[in-house]
Amino acid sequence: MNLRLNPTSMPIAVRPDLASGATSGKVAGGAESGGFSGALKNALSSVSAAQNDAAKLQREVQLENPKVSLEETMVAIQKAQIGFQATLHVRNRMVQAYTDIMNMQV
C-alpha cells in the first residue's frame, strides 16, 4: 500500500526579494498579486480546489472505482475540512477586526 500524499495546493515560499523589503507585485508562482487581497484570493481558490478534489474522490469511492482508495479519499476530505475551518477562522477574525475599527472613536 502506497501512503505517499501529494499536496493539493502550492506551498507558501519565502522569496529573497520579499525578505529584503522589495515588492514586485508577484507571488512565488509568478502570478500577479494584489497584496493581501491576492493572497486571500489564492488561498480561497486552493481551498475550493481541495474541496472539489475531495468531492470527486468521494464520488469515485461511492461508484466503487478500484483505482481510488478509501484512505486517499479520507485524507483528501480531512485536508479540505481543515482548509475550510482555517478559512472560516480567518473570515471571523477579519469581521471582528472590521467591527473593532468601525467602533473606534476618532
pLDDT of residue 98: 94
pLDDT averaged over 10-residue windows placed end to end, the chain, 106 residues: 46 42 47 77 93 94 90 94 94 94 90
Q: What is the pTM of this model?
A: 0.62
CB 5 within 8 A of CB 50: no
Our CA dihedral for 50, 74, 59, 87, rounded to 10 degrees, sits at -30
